[in-house]
């Protein structure tokens, strides 16, 4: 099941926001269909090539209902996951029981990278909407006897991209002023939608304002206040979770 997807060019760019709506899923992890390595590379937006040894490999899809997990914190590492559709968040639960949202994920993102090191996942990844992921089994890529080939090059590239994104996210969540964090978050979301080939100007936030606040280390009230102010200033237009960036340059320059 595909996302409702809108290109970033032409009339659709100006009028059609991204929507993550999927049909209801009956089971948490119903396995359906599969993707080739070429399909996975296209999802990751990796432009390298694979050798003939990779031909014929298939990677199964898993569908996950909204509110359910792809994997849990502490679960043994069994592979990486590529988001095929939907929207998800990664959460770390601390010893005191408090949760911390550390990232949000959409189509083409790679999940589970932190599991490679300690052989178990360091966070829980939960679906915000009905979603579909593709599992890349650990024994396919991380076997001690496996030679370094084009598939591994793809994973190295994708993992490096996720590290770069985490570094960029740090600057978003550590801006001096809370309102600036919200503005930078909207720009971050805009860039994510653009990377998927969707409109960077009109999109739907799939996460709650509470989750946004948790991610940015600010209160829910601060998120609401910042969004209302940006709306009042004519920089954005917001209705519930639907956002339109009216002046992206002003949003980039916003200092609170």
Pairing, β 124-127 against β 236-239 = unpaired
- Closest to 205 measured CA to CA, from 177, 244, 169: 244
10-171, which class in CATH?
Answer: mainly beta
Contact 128, 91 (CB under 8 A): no
How far apart (Å, rounded) are the C-alpha atoms in residues 219 and 215? Answer: 10
pLDDT digits (tens, 9 = 90+) for 176-201: 899 999 999 999 999 999 999 999 99
- pLDDT on residue 52: 55
How far apart (Å, rounded) are the C-alpha atoms in residues 176 and 143? Answer: 44
pLDDT digits (tens, 9 = 90+) for 66-113: 999 999 999 999 999 999 999 999 999 999 989 999 999 999 999 999
- pLDDT on residue 49: 66
- For the chain, the C-alpha Rg in angstroms (whole number) is 19
Q: Which residue has the higher pLDDT, 64 or 160?
A: 64
The pair phi, psi for residue 198, each rounded to 5°, is -105, 170
Q: Which CATH number fits domain 177-253: 3.30.420.40, 3.30.70.360, 3.40.50.10490, 1.10.10.10?
A: 1.10.10.10
- pLDDT on residue 55: 59
Where does the pLDDT of residue 226 fall: very low under 50, low under 70, confident under 90, or very high at 90 and above?
very high
How far apart (Å, rounded) are the C-alpha atoms in residues 214 and 202? Answer: 23
Contact 129, 87 (CB under 8 A): yes
Domain coordinates of the chain in residue numbers? 10-171, 177-253
Percent of the residues in the chain that have a pLDDT greater than 70, as a whole number: 81
In this structure, of 18-27, 57-66, 121-130, the range with the lowest mean pLDDT score is 18-27
The span from the first CA to the last CA of the chain, in angstroms, equals 41
67 token code pair: 């509110």
pTM: 0.81
- pLDDT on residue 102: 95
């Amino acid at each position: 099941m595909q996302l409702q997807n809108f290109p970033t060019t032409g009339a659709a760019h100006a009028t059609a926001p991204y929507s993550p709506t999927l049909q209801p899923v009956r089971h948490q992890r119903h396995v359906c269909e599969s993707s080739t390595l070429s399909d996975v590379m296209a999802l990751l937006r990796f432009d390298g090539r694979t050798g003939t040894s990779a031909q014929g490999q298939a990677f199964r899809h898993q569908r996950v209902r909204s509110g359910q997990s792809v994997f849990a914190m502490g679960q043994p590492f069994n592979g990486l996951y590529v988001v095929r559709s939907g929207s998800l968040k990664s959460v770390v639960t601390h010893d005191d029981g408090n949760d911390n949202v550390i990232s949000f994920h959409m189509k083409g993102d790679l999940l589970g990278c932190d599991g490679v090191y300690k052989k178990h996942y360091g966070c829980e990844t939960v679906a915000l909407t009905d979603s579909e992921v593709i599992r890349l089994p650990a024994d396919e890529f991380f076997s001690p006897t496996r030679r370094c080939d084009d598939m591994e090059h793809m994973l190295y590239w994708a993992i490096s991209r996720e590290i770069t994104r985490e570094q960029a996210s740090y600057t978003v969540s550590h801006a001096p002023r809370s309102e600036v964090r919200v503005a930078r978050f909207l720009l971050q979301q805009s860039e994510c939608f653009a990377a998927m080939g969707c409109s960077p100007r009109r999109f739907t936030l799939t996460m709650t304002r509470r989750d946004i606040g948790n991610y940015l280390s600010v209160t829910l009230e601060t998120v609401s206040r910042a969004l209302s102010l940006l709306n009042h200033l004519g920089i954005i237009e917001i209705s519930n979770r639907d956002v339109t960036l009216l002046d992206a340059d002003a949003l980039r320059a916003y200092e609170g």
